[in-house]
Structure 1
Amino acid sequence: MERYEAIGLIETFGLVFVLEAADAMLKAADVELIGYENVASGYISVLVQGDVGACRTAVEAGIKAVDAMGAGVYSSVVIPRPHPHLEKIMTRYSLEGLLPQG
């Protein structure tokens, strides 16, 4: 995983809402989708990376998109300059880990 300046995360209930959030996040700012995680009982988190401003813009757009569908965001955060050890957690949820090798 490349070095990045910030990460942005949104957690909401249901696949449809998290897909809408991710779509809005990726369209609103120059961020890269890291991955997602089905947390528990239908809650799903989506993670993006980019510069701090882009991650903030992306998270705000994702929240607005979920709200516009009549749902709510359970939690969201932008972490500027995340500690390098967070990469151990993020790698577990990376889309790269889901792709077939070879």
Structure 2
Amino acid sequence: MANAVGMVEVLGLPPALAAADAMCKAANVTLVGMEKVSGARYTVIVRGDISEATVAVEAGVEAAKSILGDKQLYLSSHVIARLSENLESVLKSMRPNARLASYLDPVPSDRPPLVS
């Protein structure tokens, strides 16, 4: 059950991609998305168990800090242990789109498996 949300905010697309990659590789989390907040600010959002989201955020922070630039590209990070259902319904990025939902739903028993 994905009951935690982890977020890393960075300045620029390269550190956002580096953070997203590191977060997905470091822990068993699902990448919810990367939101362009304003200007060059991006927030990378993942979901997973609390411990996995925490590990993912730590890895994302380290990856963002490792990108060299004129200024610090890592801005902030946070893990929310149990996101309120109210908040999930309001935030567009927390709702899986139809394409993603088809991957998350279990395969119906009347459908043949993809790999035999």
TM-score, length-scaled by structure 2? 0.74
Larger RCO (CA under 8 A, 6+ residues apart): 1
Structure 1: gaps of 5 or more residues: none
Q: Tell whether the 8 Å contact from 1:35 to 1:95 is kept in structure 2 after alignment.
A: no
Once the two structures are TM-superposed, the CA of residue 72 in structure 1 deviates from its matched residue by 3.1
In the TM superposition, what whole-angstrom CA distance separates every residue of 1:43-99 from its partner, at most 9, and x where no partner exists?
001100000000000000000011111343211100001111121244x12584496
Task: Tell me, yes or no, if structure 1 residue 47 matches structure 2 residue 48.
Answer: no
* Alignment length (residue pairs): 96
Could you say what secondary structure the match of 2:10 adopts?
strand
Structure 2: gaps of 5 or more residues: 100-116
Structure with the bigger percentage of strand? 1
RMSD: 1.9
Over 3 Å counting, the alpha-carbon distance change for 1:46 and 1:28 in structure 2 is same
Partner Cα distance (1:64, 1:54) in 2: 16
Could you say what secondary structure the match of 2:85 adopts?
coil
Larger radius of gyration: 2
Could you say what secondary structure the match of 1:4 adopts?
coil
Over 3 Å counting, the alpha-carbon distance change for 1:95 and 1:38 in structure 2 is farther
Over 3 Å counting, the alpha-carbon distance change for 1:95 and 1:17 in structure 2 is farther
